[in-house]
């Protein structure tokens, strides 16, 4: 079999692998679920790096998982890849009545509000039901806030959310001084949630921002390790003052 740009050839290729490859034959929906998440994150990383060659490859890996999961489902007569395609096509048409019907929506916020209203008619008990519990906490907080904002439950402006943020900072400070660890955790969580809220109202993405901060910390800390190693020193035995000096040195270079 040769490489092809036809979708049906990809479906056939995965069917062959499912029959002929010992590793592919052993897989289940559950066994490769973490791989699916990993591929999604790798695609996000390619986007943030503006690496479109890598993004092309990672989107292929994601597509592989869609077809692979569908193939396994078809083996138990649960659903097929055609069912998957029909399902998303039907949903997109139904949730875009301003495009495919006579609903009027000229602004982005009107589209979002209509989307949430339609979801409630589909059997959802809450507009928050579609936010997976396994999402990273910062992403989940932002998505829940966005969904609530879509139906008008939001701060009128970021300055008002900033006042709430300051309240949460003070409540956490008091909890640290006087309350139990359980209460400290709760107040810390409230503080993080409020911080996400302020950032969202300013057009910032919490998860993206913390990833950037993590990368910056990693670069600067590794700079400390590298410089100490060049001097024949171990970071374990180096005083904080020396590490701070090298940290400030690292800040002079882009990381």
What is the 3-state secondary structure of 17-34?
HHHHCHHHHHCCCCCCHH
Last residue of a domain, one of 93, 123, 144: 93
Q: Has residue 196 been placed in a domain?
A: yes
Residues 218, 177 within the same domain = no
> Per-residue pLDDT for 214 more than 90?
yes
Residues 13, 82 within the same domain = yes
Tell me which residue range forms the domain holding 78. 7-93
Q: What pLDDT does residue 130 have?
A: 81
Last residue of a domain, one of 204, 224, 240: 204
Residues 179, 212 within the same domain = no
Residues 242, 171 within the same domain = no
Q: What pLDDT does residue 255 have?
A: 61
Residues 13, 83 within the same domain = yes
pTM over 0.85: no
CA–CA dist 219, 250 (Å, integer)? 8
Residues 234, 177 within the same domain = no
Q: For residue 141, give the nearest of 183, 216, 191, 184 by alpha carbon.
A: 191
Q: What pLDDT does residue 11 have?
A: 96
CA–CA dist 113, 191 (Å, integer)? 27
CA–CA dist 225, 235 (Å, integer)? 6
Q: For residue 43, give the nearest of 134, 35, 216, 9 by alpha carbon.
A: 35
- Please write the tens of the pLDDT for every residue from 65-102: 999 999 999 999 999 999 999 999 999 999 899 999 88
Q: Has residue 107 been placed in a domain?
A: no
Q: Has residue 245 been placed in a domain?
A: yes
Q: Bigger pLDDT: 179 or 75? A: 75
Q: Has residue 29 been placed in a domain?
A: yes
CA–CA dist 142, 196 (Å, integer)? 6
CA–CA dist 253, 216 (Å, integer)? 11
- Please write the tens of the pLDDT for every residue from 99-143: 998 888 888 888 888 888 888 888 888 889 888 888 899 999 999
- Please write the tens of the pLDDT for every residue from 192-207: 999 999 999 999 999 9
- Please write the tens of the pLDDT for every residue from 150-174: 888 999 999 999 999 999 999 999 9
Averaged pLDDT, 240-247: 94
Kindly report each contact of residues 223-226 with a partner whose C-beta sits within 8 Å and lies 24 or more positions away, as own/partner. 223/247, 223/249, 223/250, 223/253, 223/255, 224/250
Q: Has residue 149 been placed in a domain?
A: no
- Please write the tens of the pLDDT for every residue from 14-65: 999 999 999 999 999 999 998 999 999 999 999 989 999 999 999 999 999 9
CA–CA dist 143, 176 (Å, integer)? 29
Q: What is the DSSP letter of 234?
A: -
What is the chain's mean pLDDT, rounded?
A: 93
- How wide is the angle at C-alpha 129 spanned by C-alphas 89 and 100, nearest 5°? 30
Residues 80, 11 within the same domain = yes
Q: Over the Cα atoms of the chain, what is R_g?
A: 24
Q: What pLDDT does residue 122 have?
A: 84
Q: What pLDDT does residue 110 have?
A: 86
Q: Has residue 114 been placed in a domain?
A: no
Q: Has residue 48 been placed in a domain?
A: yes
Q: Has residue 128 been placed in a domain?
A: no
């Amino acid at each position: 079999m040769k490489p092809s740009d036809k979708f049906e050839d990809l479906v056939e290729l995965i069917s062959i692998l499912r029959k002929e490859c010992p590793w592919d034959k052993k897989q289940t929906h559950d066994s490769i679920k973490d791989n699916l998440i990993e591929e999604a994150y790798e695609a996000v990383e390619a986007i943030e790096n503006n690496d479109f060659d890598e993004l092309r490859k990672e989107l292929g890996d994601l597509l592989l998982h869609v077809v692979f999961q569908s193939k396994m489902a078809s083996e138990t007569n649960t659903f097929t890849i055609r069912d998957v395609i029909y399902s998303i096509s039907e949903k997109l048409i139904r949730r875009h009545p301003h495009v495919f019907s006579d609903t009027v929506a000229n602004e982005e916020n009107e589209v979002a509000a209509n989307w949430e209203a339609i979801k409630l008619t589909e059997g959802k008990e809450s507009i928050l039901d579609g936010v997976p519990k396994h999402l990273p906490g910062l992403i989940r907080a932002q998505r829940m806030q966005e969904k609530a904002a879509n139906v008008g439950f939001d701060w009128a402006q970021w300055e008002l959310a900033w006042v709430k943020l300051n309240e949460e900072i003070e409540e956490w400070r008091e909890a640290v001084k006087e309350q139990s660890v359980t209460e400290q955790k709760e107040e810390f969580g409230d503080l993080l949630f409020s911080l996400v809220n302020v950032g969202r109202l300013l057009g910032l993405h919490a998860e993206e921002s913390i990833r950037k901060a993590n990368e910056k910390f990693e670069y600067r800390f590794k700079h400390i390790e590298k410089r100490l190693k060049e001097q024949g020193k171990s970071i374990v035995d180096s005083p904080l003052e020396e590490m701070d000096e090298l940290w400030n040195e690292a800040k002079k270079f882009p990381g």
